[in-house]
Structure formats: C-alpha cells, structure tokens
Structure 1
Amino acid sequence: MACRISELVLECREPEALARFWCEVLDFVVVGREADGSVELGPREGFGGARPTLFLSACADPGPVGARLHFDVNPTDRDQGAELERLLALGARPADIGQTGEEPWHVLADPEGNVFCLLKARIREL
C-alpha cells in the first residue's frame, strides 16, 4: 500500500456551524482549527487513525455542490516526492485551483479530472 485516504475536504461558508452538525452526526470531535477559520473533525483518536477526518475548509464562495468535496491522501511507505512521482506515472496530473505554490501539499487531478491533494506527512498502513 502506498497511500490511503486520510481526510475528506468540504468547502463551506461557515465551518464552525457545519462542524457542530457533523460532530453530532458522526460522533466526531474537533481535532484542529486553522487561522483561516477552517475546522477539522475526526474520531477521538484524531488524524491518522482508521477513519478519515473531515476537514471543513473555509471558503467565501464554495464551488458548485458537486465540486466542494475532494480527497486528501498521505503516503504510507515512501516520502511525498516519491509518492508524487508514482501518482504522476499512474496518470495523475498537476491541477491549478489557485494555490500559491508555497503549500506543503500537491494538488493533482485523477485521469477523469477529479481533484485530490497529496499531503506531506507519512501515516501508517492499516
């Protein structure tokens, strides 16, 4: 195994309000908050466990409903650079969604154009 889904990312206007809703629905807790107002929810064991977290990304103008959700994946058995090479060889391609280039993750699109992010941290296999 080289990657696994670690987070589901949902663009939204009011992350705190949505966090209250999803925490109740999923029996999750807030595991992190970002300076931009984004909120990460997850099981009590936190990020990197058996279940992916839900990252509510603060966005003044979320995209169309079908484009608000994307996967984040983390390498499990290699570093981010090696995993990026592997994903590109499999048919992923870089995607520009307005990032600055300073982010510690890579935004990619799968062969059908679905956007996902390759994060930097290596997490354990399950």
Structure 2
Amino acid sequence: MSKPALRHLAIVARDPEALARFYSELFSMEVFHRDDDGSCFLSDGYLTLALIAHRLDGDVPVGMNHFGFQVEDVAATAAQLQAMGADLPAERHTTRPFAEYRAIDPEGNWFDLSAHGYGGSGAQHS
C-alpha cells in the first residue's frame, strides 16, 4: 500500500440488522461480524460498513459516526498528526478485530487508523 486508503465508514443505526439486510440485498454486501449489542459489520470486498447499534441512553446521535483509514505505519501517521498540531491518536480498547486507533480532525470528526485493515472478505488487500 503506497498511500493511506479510506476503507471504513460507520453509521449509528436504530435497527442495525434491518439496515444490514437493506445493504446486503441492494448492494450484495456481506455481513462478516456481529457484536453482542446488535451492531453489524458488512463489506463489499474493499470498504467495510459498520452499522453501530444506537443506544437510547447514549449521547451519540443516529447517522454518520466516523470513518477509517488503513495506513502502512500507524506510528508514522501519529507523528505526522502531532506535527500538524493535532492530538496523538488514542488506542482503542475493543474486542472488535480492527480499528486500533482513534483520531480527531481539525473540525472534530472522528477517524480510525488501522495498519492491518478492517476485516471482511478481501478487505485486507493493500
């Protein structure tokens, strides 16, 4: 992989399973992971789509939540972010097998950084 690649989008959904069926039927995306809370993760073989279960007691609104880049070297990307005046990415402590770090752009948008990819059939290619 010669340059970072946008490989992941996340949407907070009221009914992730129904939305997963929608994207599976319409665009032939495949579900490759489900969380215990009902969140569903799909792939078209290149990009992954995370449909995160909305919690009524949470403060995260429904809709676009974050996006993720696959990079060759997370440490080098983190150093570049810090040199640009941004905070260092935070390590994500999760049981999900992807998205090792979370960062924030100058407008406050969340994005993930991963050196090993975001899962799903074929989504690991560089």
Relative to the length of structure 1, the TM-score reads 0.69
Match of 2:93 in 1: 102
Q: Distance in 1 between matches of 2:76 and 2:13?
A: 32
User: Which of 60, 69, 78 is the matching residue for 1:63?
Assistant: 60
Conserved in 2, the CA contact under 8 Å of 1:108 and 1:118?
yes
SS in 2 for 1:31: strand
User: Which of 111, 114, 118 is the matching residue for 1:119?
Assistant: 114
Conserved in 2, the CA contact under 8 Å of 1:8 and 1:71?
yes
User: Which of 87, 97, 112 is the matching residue for 1:93?
Assistant: 87
Conserved in 1, the CA contact under 8 Å of 2:9 and 2:67?
yes
Does 2:69 correspond to 1:73? yes
Letter in 1 for 2:12: E
Match of 1:18 in 2: 19
Q: Percent identity?
A: 34
Conserved in 2, the CA contact under 8 Å of 1:2 and 1:83?
no
SS in 1 for 2:107: coil
Deviations 1:60-112 (A, max 9, x none): 1473456x33211121x32x22222223323443588xx9x634622211112
RMSD, matched Cα = 2.8
Q: Distance in 2 between matches of 1:114 and 1:56?
A: 17
Q: Distance in 2 between matches of 1:120 and 1:25?
A: 30
User: Which of 45, 49, 63 is the matching residue for 1:54?
Assistant: 49
Q: Distance in 1 between matches of 2:37 and 2:88?
A: 25
How many residues align structurally?
A: 113
Conserved in 2, the CA contact under 8 Å of 1:30 and 1:41?
yes
What stretches of structure 2 of length at least 5 have no aligned partner?
118-123
Tell me: CA distance 1:34–1:64, structure 2 relative to 1, closer, same or farther (3 Å). closer
Letter in 1 for 2:93: E
